């Protein structure tokens, strides 16, 4: 049985991240929280670039004053890696730090203080600050949230829109909330990133679980971290793939949205919601398609983006209708 001490387990999930990790690990060495209050867990998610050996050498030579371990997770995918980190963590709070996030020096101390003072918090997010490898694209600021950077709310504290969510990078979760679902047989419906695929939404799913359990989602602008933006991510073609991956999970998340609106929602209620959303998304997509064809706007970047997102949402509702019913049934059994 794992211990459940008061403190923070930092989980860094990485796939072939050897070249991205040095600033991430260096920032963790400089944290102001007392060493006995946190641990570092690096999840090597089926890397082939020597990530495990690099991390072990780096951390050994740095003579860390906090405990650390490198854990191999052979099943590739960010959700699998995060779940593995959750199960081996020894503290009651888990912080998911991406392998390109350099946390500010007081990140752990401030986060732990907020969580201790506000027991209603189930997940607490911060503010990513982009660091560009090349010139920032003119469109970046408009769509920056998709890259896990920028403010996540206009105000600190509880995020009031319903349902609420924060991006997974730099987010604290209370371990016990999530583990209780997994111990009851919960299986994530979102696939999340896997290798070169950009499917997303695992962090959103976990935020929804937190709210189903009766806890709140918070944001604080003082929790800052540097988020590296390499040249490859700053291409419009990459952003279109990223948004397609995000939109592809829309239908999978419908069971959560339905239950968050009404914990007592029935199968009929879910079925009505699913059918309504599927039909509505189809009509919106074809209306856009016809309008774009008539007005010849389909070549503009904004229209290109809209086409990708609307098509993926429509496809997701129809494709995941059956699995949505099964997941709705699973969640109902756990509430």
pLDDT of residue 234: 95
Kindly write down the DSSP assignment for every residue of 284-313, as one continuous string: HHHHHHHHHHHHT-TTSHHHHHHHHHHHHH
Over residues 149-169, mean pLDDT: 95
Over residues 258-269, mean pLDDT: 95
Q: What is the mean pLDDT of the chain?
A: 93
CA distances to 46, 62, 158, 279 from 148, in Å: 24, 29, 19, 31
Percentage of the chain with pLDDT > 90?
A: 84
* Rounded-to-integer distance, Cα 8 and Cα 327, Å: 31
pLDDT of residue 58: 96
pLDDT of residue 3: 47
Residue pair 277/258 in contact by the 8 Å Cβ criterion: no
Quickly state the pLDDT bin for 1 (edges 50, 70, 90).
very low
Over residues 19-35, mean pLDDT: 92
Task: Answer whether 0.75 is exceeded by the pTM.
Answer: yes
pLDDT digits (tens, 9 = 90+) for 304-334: 899 999 999 999 999 999 999 999 999 999 9
pLDDT digits (tens, 9 = 90+) for 39-95: 999 999 999 999 999 999 999 998 888 899 999 999 988 989 999 999 999 999 999
């Amino acid at each position: 049985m794992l211990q459940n001490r008061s403190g923070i387990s930092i989980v860094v999930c990485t796939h072939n991240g050897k070249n991205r990790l040095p600033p991430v690990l260096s920032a963790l060495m400089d944290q102001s929280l007392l060493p006995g209050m946190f641990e570092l867990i690096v999840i090597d998610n089926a890397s082939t670039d020597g990530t495990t050996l690099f991390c072990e050498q780096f951390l050994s030579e740095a003579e860390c004053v906090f405990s650390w371990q490198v854990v191999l997770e052979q099943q590739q995918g960010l959700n699998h890696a995060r779940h593995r980190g959750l199960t081996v963590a020894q503290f009651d709070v888990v912080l998911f730090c991406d392998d390109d996030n350099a946390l500010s020096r007081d990140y752990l101390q401030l986060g732990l203080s907020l969580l201790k003072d506000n027991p209603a918090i189930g997940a607490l997010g911060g503010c990513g600050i982009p660091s560009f490898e090349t010139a920032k694209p003119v469109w970046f600021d408009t769509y920056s949230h998709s890259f896990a950077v920028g403010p996540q709310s206009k105000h600190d504290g509880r995020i009031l829109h319903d349902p609420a969510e924060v991006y997974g990078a730099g987010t604290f979760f209370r371990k016990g909330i999530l583990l209780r679902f997994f111990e009851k047989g919960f299986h994530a419906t979102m696939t999340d990133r896997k290798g070169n695929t950009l499917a997303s939404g695992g962090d959103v799913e976990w935020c929804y679980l937190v709210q189903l359990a009766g806890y709140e989602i918070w944001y604080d602008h003082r929790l800052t971290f540097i988020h590296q933006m390499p040249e490859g991510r700053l291409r419009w073609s990459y952003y279109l793939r990223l948004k397609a991956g995000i939109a592809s999970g829309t239908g999978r998340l419908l069971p959560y949205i339905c239950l968050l609106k009404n914990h007592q929602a029935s199968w009929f209620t879910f079925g009505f919601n699913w059918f309504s959303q599927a039909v509505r998304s189809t009509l919106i997509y074809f209306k856009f398609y016809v309008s774009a064809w008539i007005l010849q706007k389909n070549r503009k970047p904004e229209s290109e983006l809209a086409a990708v997102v609307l098509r993926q949402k429509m496809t997701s509702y129809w494709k995941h209708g059956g699995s949505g019913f099964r997941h709705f049934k699973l969640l109902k059994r756990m509430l």
